[in-house]
Structures are given as structure tokens and as C-alpha cells.
Amino acid sequence: PPLPDLQLYLGGGAVSDALRATLARKVTPRVGIVYGSSELGLVAIADAQTFARHPRCAGRLVPWALAEAVDAQGKALPPGTRGELRFQFLGRFDGYLGDPQTTARHLRDGWYYPGDLGRVERDGLLYVDGRVNELVNVGGDKFLASSVEQALETHPDVVEAGVVAADLPTGGRVLLAVVVSRGAFDEAAILEHVRPRLGRRTPARVFRADALPRNEMGKLVRARLAQGLSNALGGRAG
């Protein structure tokens, strides 16, 4: 790589193995990760050595932050148990200007709820699995759409993937995927590749696109992806 001594920190979302490998080859092998937000500031950080040992983590909690995962009733869960994440930290904001509803949703009982699902280990490592609004329900099975996207992205021809649940005009609810592929697009091969890993969570269909809709931060805009599929299928996706 051209900058072997550079320490590069990533943030804003999960880091795929393919991205890590590309950065190590083209930029620097010293890749770390950070987690935080405008409201929280920096909450967790992992240097290259820690991130290499724990490639799915979002960093180790900084000394001035406290984090918990809670259940649907807001009860703190044991370390290592996945739930909705909440944080306390030195310095805080009072709320969102002119938006009391959003303030009430994210600030509760002295805790800040960013809307992320994850877990906190006893050693302070933070794992962020996805957004609360990424949970999909297909046939009574609730799971994160991002877990299906990660499985799809293990296929050598898939650059990136987006997944939504769709209500079909004929009834029923199915999982649909859109991928950006390199080379020829083979839907059957992609489904065959992920079915042993996903089982009943395997998408019913996979479609190809030149690009996925993303915002200025590079995050997938799932609502726009769902709308595009709805228009194409004549149903309702979400």
C-alpha cells in the first residue's frame, strides 16, 4: 500500500471484509474504527490492532461514556446481550430545536437513544448490529435487513446490497434484494450462494441496479430503495 504508516479510522456504519481488504491493499493496512454522532460526540474507538482482533466491533467505549443495551421495556440487559443501545456521556445537548417529539423519542430518563441495536461486552467493546428501523418482519421472523445484506456481499460478484420487505399485490410478504454487481449478473447463483447461510431469510428475488440510493453520509436510504421496488412490482415495500 502507498501509505503503510497512515492510521485510518472509519465510522458511520459497519465495515465489510471486502472494504477492509481493499483499503489494506490500496491505502494502508492500519485501519481502525470509531463510533459516535453529532449528539454524542466520540463514544467508542478501536485502533488497528484491536479492530483486527475484533473486526465486527464499533470500538471500545471511551472513559467518559456509559453504554447499555435495553429490552423493549427499557430494562438494562446483561453484558453481551443484544438490545437497543442507550448512552450517557460528559456534556449533553438539551434537545432538537423546535422538535419536542424527536427530543422526547431520543432523550429519556437521562439517557440518549440513537436508534441503534447492539451489545456491550464486559471489556467495554461496543458492537452495533444495525438500526432499530432496519428490523423487518417476514412470516413472523424478525431480523435485521443488514444481516441479509452482509450475506449477499460475501458473493464474489456482489459489490453492495440493499434489502427490504415487500407486501405483494397478491398477498403475503417477501424479502427482496437489490445488488450492485461486477461483471455478469446471475440471480440464481447469488441465491444459491446465500441460501445455506440464510435459510428461510433468503430473499425471494434479487434485482440488479447500477447504484444504491445513499445520503450525503454514504448511508443506504432504505425508504428510497423500497419505493423503487414498489414502483417496479406494483406492491408496497418497506
Q: pTM of the predicted model, to two decimals?
A: 0.78
Residue 171 has pLDDT above 80, yes or no: no
Residue 33 near residue 58, CB atoms below 8 Å: yes
Phi, psi for residue 50 in degrees, rounded to 5? -65, -40
pLDDT tens digits, residue range 30-70?
999 999 988 888 999 999 999 999 988 999 999 999 999 99
* Per-residue confidence band for 234, with pLDDT thresholds at 50, 70 and 90: low
Residue in 32, 28, 36 with CA at minimum distance from that of residue 46: 32
Residue 154 near residue 144, CB atoms below 8 Å: no
Looking at residue 70, what is its pLDDT?
97
Residue 160 has pLDDT above 70, yes or no: yes
* Per-residue confidence band for 229, with pLDDT thresholds at 50, 70 and 90: confident
Residue in 32, 34, 69 with CA at minimum distance from that of residue 47: 32
Looking at residue 196, what is its pLDDT?
96
Residue 238 has pLDDT above 60, yes or no: no
Residues 60-64: contacts with CB under 8 Å, at least 24 apart? 60/123, 60/124, 60/125, 60/126, 61/120, 61/124, 61/125, 61/126, 64/89, 64/90
Residue in 140, 152, 136 with CA at minimum distance from that of residue 208: 152
3-state secondary structure of 148: helix
* Per-residue confidence band for 233, with pLDDT thresholds at 50, 70 and 90: low
216: left (phi over 0), alpha (psi -120 to 50) or beta: alpha
Residues 217-235 as b/e (b if ≥16 CB within 10 A, e otherwise) read eeebebeebbbbbbeebeb
